[in-house]
Amino acid sequence: MQNSTNMAPKIVLISGCSSGIGLATAVFLAKDAEKRFKVYATMRNLAKKGQLEEEGKEYLGDTLIIKQMDVCSDESVEKAVKEVLDTEGRIDVLFNNAGIGGVFTVLECTPMALAKELFAVNYFGTLRLIQAVLPGMKARRSGHIINNSSHLGIVGTPFNELYCSSKFAMEGLTESLAPTLLHFNIRCTIIEPGPVATAGFENGAIFAKKFNISVADQKSQELLETFAARIQPLFVSTMQSPYEVAEVVKNIILCEKPHLRYQINDKYNPEEVKQNLLTQQATFWLKWSRKHSSMQNNLTKITISSPEPARFDQR
Ligand SMILES: NC(=O)c1ccc[n+]([C@@H]2O[C@H](COP(=O)([O-])OP(=O)(O)OC[C@H]3O[C@@H](n4cnc5c(N)ncnc54)[C@H](OP(=O)(O)O)[C@@H]3O)[C@@H](O)[C@H]2O)c1
């Protein structure tokens, strides 16, 4: 495949492309006018490929290839990675995107099996894919691993303990791995989107319905209900399109020396988060916690904990 810069296109493997950020990123990279990318867009259930095929129809078979990959299955990941390596000889960029999000619940109502299911996708799925691509990247002394975390990967949020902790784990994994991989000329990047308009919230709500919140104590149920009602307008007012996230991912891939972390929502970047936490969010969390005074101390603590800026810079 030729591109206008006469350089070989970057081979990009993306997980979770049936919808949302994964789908948008796959299409956005595949339609690059200079053909700088060849995208292997994967999804666990190929019956859901219709939307990607429709949005990417001009690029199918050229800069956009669709493949099955379930990040929770060793066999499926090994097969998909092998097929790309057999065809292309390399994977230049891995975008770990697949995830379960938006899971608001009362913690003690979470059956352990569902907690494990969430971590199986958000954390162990990421780990599995990194393990699968690393030998090739290390051998070639080249590669870029981009992990889709969240602003909730650096700021804990009430009633979202499972999702937040899965993304905190992803952050720890990436930050720990990055210095070693620099010795192999492999870059690691974590993106931390704010709210993005995808089916993720709906899918998370469907997942959360598996929990039986009615067995929680009355007070926790009320707090959750109040919290959900109050956080929704904040999410809606700061929401980005998945294509905005895709554009940032493209720029990160093209960046010669990318940072370790990128906050990618102007309304939710670190300064804004700090400001929001101390003003807007704090106001509603504090107002809310005053109303439910027994939780005030805990919520205040959560409210004023600001995210750290990039702790490790790869430049
Ligand atoms: N939306 C937001 O506000 C937001 C903010 C920050 C970060 N994020 C992160 O962005 C990523 C994408 O989420 P989204 O918002 O685009 O939601 P989405 O539209 O629900 O996309 C999630 C994708 O992950 C896939 N997936 C789930 N389990 C999988 C598995 N075992 N193997 C392979 N794929 C699997 C889903 O496939 P199925 O269709 O088969 O379920 C879907 O393609 C997630 O990691 C999420 O945490 C989202």
Whether 184 and 138 have beta carbons less than 8 Å apart is answered as: yes
* pLDDT given at position 232: 82
> Is residue 200 lining ligand 1, measured as CB closer than 6 Å?
yes
What's the whole-number mean pLDDT along residues 291-310?
Answer: 32
* CA dist., res. 39 & res. 297, Å (int): 48
**pLDDT tens-digit map of 219-248:** 999 999 888 888 888 788 889 999 999 999
Structure tokens at 149: 């975390």
Exactly one of 163, 243, 262, 268 is catalytic; name it.
163
Q: What is the pLDDT of residues 134-164, one digit of tens each?
A: 999 999 999 999 999 998 998 888 999 999 9
Lowest mean per-residue pLDDT among 12-21, 76-85, 102-111: 102-111
Look at residue 279 and tell me whether its pLDDT is greater than 70: no
173 lines ligand 1 (CB under 6 A): no
How confident is residue 1, by pLDDT bands cut at 50, 70 and 90? low
CA-to-CA distance for 195 and 201, rounded, in angstroms?
9
- Whole-model pTM? 0.88
Ligand 1, atom 8: nearest CA belongs to which residue? Answer: 150
Q: What is the pLDDT of residue 315?
A: 44
Using alpha carbons, select from 208, 201, 274, 206 the residue that is nearest to residue 242: 201
Q: What is the number of the ligand 1 atom nearest to the C-alpha of 151?
A: 6
Please report the pLDDT score of residue 32 as a whole number: 98
- pLDDT tens-digit readout, 178-232: 999 999 999 999 999 999 999 887 887 788 778 888 889 999 999 998 888 888 8
pLDDT of residue 244: 95
Closest CA relative to residue 191, chosen from 177, 171, 162, 163: 171
Rounded mean pLDDT of 41-63? 98
